[in-house]
Amino acid sequence: MTTPRPFPDAQKHGDLEELFPDIFFVTGTVALPGLLPLRISRNMTVLRHGSELTLVNSVRLDSSGLEALDKLGEVKNIIRLAAFHGMDDPFYKDRYGATVWSVDAPYFAGFDSKSDPYFHPDNIVKGDVKIPTKGAEFVNINSAKPNEGLMLLDRDGGILIAGDSLQNWDKPDQNFSFLARLMMPRMGFIKPCNVGPGWRKATKPDASEIKAILDLGFEHVLPAHGAPVIGDAKKRYAPVINAL
């Protein structure tokens, strides 16, 4: 059963920035559900292949942001790496008729994975199902419940795109609300090259499967939360991962 809901409004975000040739990155915001109005940052990565675009960890852009996105190419695919993300996938599906590829997790509101889903993707990425991105590998963290994924691009020394598993908030950024600036450090989120503490607590992945990330070939990490890690990313994440 699916219970559709209105598309969430566009929230504050920055400009699309080209980090590597044909790889763009934009930082937006999201309000966390709960009694306290915590607003934090979140990121979307945009991949361009020819005239086609793939959105990873989608963030709805405002009208000027959409205009800039349309100048890059035509949105054809949307990839959802994290069970706790995806709120803006239905908007982009409706606007562009794009194909949605998701980890094996329902689209649920907030953090209630047992609530009725509000949307169904076109494809679940598991087994023999492969993402439609040239030179990319989808890496499932199968022990995480609900499911989580990573996307490894075979270029520029290896670029790993993460959902909630790998984060990089070395400090609260300008998109944090006042309360978030106070609370997020106390909850263990503000730490460079970190394994998401809230994600670990909620999904309980096996430490061995997280440590296996270090067997992948990558030099950079583009996280859904925090700043891009450009250069020596595996080396910089290794101390936190090995300490699990």
Calpha distance 31→51 (Å, rounded): 33
Calpha distance 200→13 (Å, rounded): 27
What residue has token string 């991105």? Answer: 133
Tokens of 185: 């450090």
Q: Measure the CA angle with vertex 47, ends 44 and 49; round to 5°.
A: 165
Calpha distance 211→216 (Å, rounded): 10
- Whole-model pTM: value is 0.96
163 pLDDT tier (thresholds 50, 70, 90): very high
**Average pLDDT of the segment spanning 89-113:** 93
**Average pLDDT of the segment spanning 84-113:** 94
Calpha distance 64→46 (Å, rounded): 16
- Per residue in 40-97, pLDDT tens? 999 999 999 999 999 999 999 999 999 999 999 999 999 999 999 999 999 999 999 9
What pLDDT shows up at residue 4? 81
pLDDT at 152 over 90: yes
Calpha distance 110→221 (Å, rounded): 25
Contact (Cβ atoms closer than 8 angstroms) between residue 227 and residue 243:
no
166 pLDDT tier (thresholds 50, 70, 90): very high
- Which amino acid, 82? A
What pLDDT shows up at residue 178? 94
Contact (Cβ atoms closer than 8 angstroms) between residue 56 and residue 47:
yes
